[in-house]
Structure 1
Amino acid sequence: MVPFRKMHGLGNDFVVLDARQAPLPITPARAAAIADRRFGVGCDQLILLEPGGEGADVVMRIRNPDGSEAGACGNATRCVAALVAGETARGQVVVRTIAGDLPVERLPGEACDLWRADMGAPRLGWQEVPLAAAMDTLHLPLAAGGVADPAACSTGNPHATFFVPALDALELAAIGPALEHDPIFPERANIGFAQVLDRAHLRLAVWERGAGLTLACGSGACAALVNAARRGLTGRAATVSLPGGDLRIEWREDGHVLMTGPAATAFTGTLDLEAYPR
């Protein structure tokens, strides 16, 4: 039996498996089976912890519910940092992902357990998102279901953000899949739908690549603020309200994006890996 920890950031939930002491046979099919909410443990992403190397406390690998691998996950980054900090009694942790190293710190004096992650600098070029051809990432020629003209960037994952007048009027589950798989995105994309409430406040829902609608998407919140600021719709710092709660996002003058939000453990348990397909 293998221990696991069920964690979440604003309801964006994860099954966290620890492979720092010994490797675990987690294949795409097995990750998808564990993530299934009826026949597995159930989660938005499966997180595999591996030993950290020079300059990092831990390596985090991320599997979506369809078994595909994600480059970054802001909510999971805070959760993993909280887990490692609890083991080491340190308030600062560096989480290594395939998209880069992410420093995270616990904010002192906060009433709840808040963590601030440096998600690095967004990638704004069409090849960096990536897109299928050269184009202006501030205005993509893409429309569906009453939304059009998104902006794109990569915050560890490819993101496109549509700015809409009324978020509640959209059939997100109907238009999200087609937009995720549009040929303009050779690696698919996370699709954000953002309503600008004022220059310091966005409402956001995200159709996540390989996962669908989730209660919160940290990298999507970072992308929404970056894309809104690039278009002059907000300043470089804002509260982003997601279905699961609020994140504070800041795009610093040095180019790095900071994300602040909570991390929580829901429960712990064990699972039999051999009960799931390879």
Structure 2
Amino acid sequence: MKPESLIYILVFQALFGFEVFFSSTNIFSGDLIYIFGFCRNEKLTNTRQNGKSAVVYHEKNGKFHLFTGSDVEFFSGKLELVFMTEHSNYRYSFPVNMRKTETRLITFTNQTAAAMVSDRKKIISESRSFHEFYKAFTEPYWKGNFISPAGHAPVSSDFAVHRSNSVTGVQSFHRGIDFLMPSGAQVYAPNHGIVVFSGFADIRGNLVIINHGMGLYTSYFHLEKSLVKTGQKIKKGEIIALSGKSGLVTGAHLHWDVRIDNTCVNGTDLLKMHFPPEP
């Protein structure tokens, strides 16, 4: 698959008029996969992913869509999907390859590192407290391709980089993308959506969470200032915040994460996908 384009891969076409397409079948841990299909002559009654129910958005013409993905720490295994119709079950199984990531030493001041250690319980507690904001599955608000929330700002730390704390030795995966942006730089909505949270948290600092529909959410951390309110409808390209260095950080930047079913996935995948243009 070319990095600048999305090639839909025809996987199967049954006599009943069932077709399904995947954005990629060469899957690595942490990848975001977009799936759409057609169920023309029968009704799609249920979809399961790795034994669990998967939520699918249905259109009136028999077309269906879903996003899916695996956690970056899903080191090996398979992505298994079963589409159940009135007459048949259509099964697809793809290996999930272990993502090769670089290990980067993150240099913290003693004071910052001490705060991270002392606040470890707070970090876990804060993370859990935000789970509820990523749960709702709604109709798609997004239309067309997604754009970078940072404009032309370069990436300073990519998704899934294996970070090692210079003081504590604690290692963890980076579950988002960091853009190199000074305090006060404009942050843009990558697509249409609804703001489900705009506020402050001790670790994440000033933050915004946007629901784009179909279980897809994007989050923006360590902001200098949010320019939107909870419940507000926003449009693609709208300025939603100013980047900053609030919360537990080592310097000014924008941390952007993309989630599907509350699992952080590679936002670069989303920016590379080509969707039908807006009407």
Q: TM-score, normalised by structure 2?
A: 0.30
Max Rg structure: 2
Q: Which has the higher helix share?
A: 1
Q: Which has the higher strand share?
A: 2
Q: TM-score, normalised by structure 1?
A: 0.30
Question: Which structure exhibits the higher relative contact order, with contacts defined as CA atoms closer than 8 Å and separated by 6 or more residues?
Answer: 1
